[in-house]
Chain A
């Protein structure tokens, strides 16, 4: 079901939502996983608006098979790599919000990620992150955990959190190697050495990466860290490799297979706890509407966010679709953002933990101008 934001808000969601102001004494059973897609994931390929009359001309050559995919709600086709996500959608456990963006309007990864993670209006506005401020509102026993060697910005702040680095996480080393190749292109000595090294490695088969299997292992690990009474309840997972400037078709397919495998493993390994789980998947900004000259896309603006899990009021696509016509694009090149990512996340996580979104969201996202979106969570 395609649900336009304005329609949904007009439908009067207050009845769906009963705020619970008092905090529970015991640690909550509710679980939140924030999956950040670092590198600007391409929402226009993940949930492709194949029903938009301009889409085929902009993207047809890049991912032709998307055009053959069945449409959800008449306008959108889900990328075929997202098989498990499609299943969740069918089971009313997935909600997509399209043409959405944080308050950030430039195109630097670092600055964009900083705004997404701090919840501020401008990059480096704030030092602490919204996940940490959320933890401060939850019962004191609620454990926060980063699945990485260091604590990412979103989880940093006054509340003590822990981190756990897994070597099984789908890593970006392939992507780094490609970028090193580009960086060395002008340097005669290093270029020659590097080409030699890559050839040798390729022959030795060292470059074979974990791929989908690695993602599944990571999902299993994360689930195990969230189980039981003393398991983590607020977890941040960093995924990288989304910056698909070239060779997007194969790379994005791998990326989405990895994400799909991660989510599937989370779901199956969390078992009954999946019913109490909300997964938020978001990226710092989107990618250009049109394909570029190297089989990829460049940094854009509006993108896609996903809510998945047992508490999600799913099987919905939330969007005020701006259209992909030349005059409809943001700055003539990007998907125009018509929804506020902060409002989506603020509304979802507050309701998920039984907090009053109107009171909580402004503290989590001081940069947000919009009201938190209600009715995202099943109650």
Chain B
């Protein structure tokens, strides 16, 4: 692929209609660091985390009241809870709105490389609205924990992510109680057992930092889970003791497991919140974390099978510069592996953004965006597991997936501005790299919209 085409498509989110191609592709990408806006208007207008946590409490209260009512009436509690408008309606609306804001930011962005990195990290630290508690908070998670740190340090992002209510609720950390904590002891005396939940501790080690099978043991997971107890969400619990000072992250001392911990051969004697923080700090600079992050970045920007030399370069840079993300991105920009080789198959998210940007669409109603990505197989903030969506072609290049894209291509083309000339647009999006068969298909199309649909469905468009 040509350098300009690579900059636009592999590093960026696809060229925008009417945008003049960058004269200096690498310089154009690097200059985006200075211009990136972590809080564009559409995103700044979204409901913030504290209010969303309060809405979640209200929704849960509503749900509980409906169940109680059903019990008193002797009616079906499920019918009562599912009755419209449902208790979670406002949070669902917040989700839809946030999907729209994310999409609009990506469509309008003049810093598409950094925007792509936001999506990358949001998927690395995946939460999923499969879990009803996360529905309202998923957008705020990306907007508040990922975006502000996308050009910062890995450790800062990690700290923001693991403290965000969306992550604490998604991976059950908010419920985790130290078995010997004051609260658990009191509960035990009353015959109620409260205990540990290892989910977040495990996924931090396996997915967020070190990576799977990198030498930590089950004992390390359990010890880390004990260290993490107390990291929870304020403003949700019914008990006044666990309400906390307000809605949002809260270290709840009454549920923290007292004592020092031993994790991956190191002793952590800190008290309270500082204990798990010290573990996170060490994980953030661990060589296995450097390798894990390097591998994922290389997979995203070079090839499904990450070139070992590129991984090694990124890993060394991560360790040398303390996980400075901008420095890692500069390694990517300087690496020939990212500018050469077979292109990556676009995910549904990537393909849709590229198609919409190419046709000059700058905004999409949230409802359409949410429904559209769901139909194309990649609902926003809704991966099936905390591992996030896959970043390899076989997960996306399926017959029906391809067929749907062609259908959507026709729909987009039919609604695009009639003045768009697919012939010139194709050359602008893929300078020096448009295949003869695509060019012919476009030139021979029987109408402008059909030519545009063919361009959007072309092999060039399917990959980046």
A interface residues, Cβ below 8 angstroms from B: 38-40, 108-110, 113, 148-153, 156, 165, 172-173, 175-177, 179-180, 182-187, 189-190, 193-194, 196-198, 200-201, 238, 240-243, 245
Residue of B nearest to A156 (CB): B418
User: B417 and A110: CB pair below 8 A?
Assistant: no
User: B451 and A110: CB pair below 8 A?
Assistant: yes
Residues of B within 8 A of A182 (CB): 437, 441
User: B398 and A193: CB pair below 8 A?
Assistant: yes
Q: Which of B258-266, B274-282, B400-408 contacts A (4 or more CB under 8 A)?
A: B400-408
Q: Which of B8-16, B75-83, B172-180, B453-461 contacts A (4 or more CB under 8 A)?
A: B453-461
Residue of A nearest to B413 (CB): A176
Residues of A within 8 A of B462 (CB): 190
User: B402 and A190: CB pair below 8 A?
Assistant: yes
CA distance A243 to B414 in the complex (A): 18
Taking the nearest CB of chain A, how far is it from the CB of B147, in angstroms? 34
Chain B 413-447 near chain A by CB (<8 Å), digits 1 or 0: 01111100101000000000001011001011111
CA distance A180 to B416 in the complex (A): 19
User: B399 and A176: CB pair below 8 A?
Assistant: no
Which of A109, A196, A245 counts the most B-chain CB atoms under 10 A from its CB?
A: A109
- Check A176/B447 contact, CB under 8 A, given A151-B418, A182-B441: no
Residues of A within 8 A of B441 (CB): 179-180, 182-183
User: B416 and A150: CB pair below 8 A?
Assistant: yes
A152-B418, A240-B450 are known contacts; what are 18 more A-B pairs with Cβ within 8 Å?
A39-B446, A150-B414, A150-B416, A150-B417, A156-B418, A173-B410, A177-B406, A183-B441, A186-B435, A187-B459, A190-B402, A190-B462, A194-B402, A198-B403, A200-B399, A240-B447, A242-B446, A243-B444
Residues of B within 8 A of A201 (CB): 403
- Quick check: is B397 within 8 A (CB to CB) of the other chain? yes
CA distance A35 to B397 in the complex (A): 39
- Check A179/B445 contact, CB under 8 A, given A172-B450, A193-B399: yes
B interface, over-half SS: helix
Q: Among the listed B407, B415, B450, B459, which residue makes an inter-chain contact with A149, where contact means beta carbons less than 8 Å apart?
A: B415
Q: Among the listed B399, B407, B435, B447, which residue makes an inter-chain contact with A194, where contact means beta carbons less than 8 Å apart?
A: B399
Q: Among the listed B407, B415, B418, B459, which residue makes an inter-chain contact with A183, where contact means beta carbons less than 8 Å apart?
A: B459
User: B446 and A109: CB pair below 8 A?
Assistant: yes
CA distance A40 to B447 in the complex (A): 10
CA distance A175 to B444 in the complex (A): 12
Q: Among the listed B421, B451, B457, which residue makes an inter-chain contact with A180, where contact means beta carbons less than 8 Å apart?
A: B457
Taking the nearest CB of chain B, how far is it from the CB of A200, in angstroms? 6
User: B417 and A176: CB pair below 8 A?
Assistant: no
CA distance A127 to B448 in the complex (A): 15
User: A241 and B418: CB pair below 8 A?
Assistant: no
CA distance A185 to B417 in the complex (A): 29
CA distance A197 to B407 in the complex (A): 12
CA distance A108 to B414 in the complex (A): 20
Of the A-B pairs whose beta carbons lie under 8 Å apart in the complex, a sample of 21, sorted by A's number, is A148-B414, A149-B414, A150-B415, A150-B416, A173-B410, A175-B450, A176-B410, A176-B454, A179-B444, A183-B438, A183-B457, A186-B435, A189-B393, A193-B397, A193-B402, A194-B402, A198-B403, A240-B446, A243-B444, A243-B446, A245-B444
User: A185 and B437: CB pair below 8 A?
Assistant: yes
Residues of A within 8 A of B399 (CB): 193-194, 196-197, 200
- Check A180/B406 contact, CB under 8 A, given A38-B446, A113-B448: yes
CA distance A179 to B435 in the complex (A): 15
CA distance A157 to B448 in the complex (A): 18
Taking the nearest CB of chain A, how far is it from the CB of B132, in angstroms? 33
Taking the nearest CB of chain B, how far is it from the CB of A41, in angstroms? 10
Residue of B nearest to A199 (CB): B399
Residues of A within 8 A of B435 (CB): 186
- Check A241/B443 contact, CB under 8 A, given A110-B451, A193-B398, A197-B402: no
Residues of A within 8 A of B438 (CB): 183
Residues of B within 8 A of A113 (CB): 447-448
Taking the nearest CB of chain A, how far is it from the CB of B163, in angstroms? 42
User: B400 and A200: CB pair below 8 A?
Assistant: yes
CA distance A57 to B67 in the complex (A): 82
Residues of A within 8 A of B453 (CB): 176
CA distance A150 to B418 in the complex (A): 7
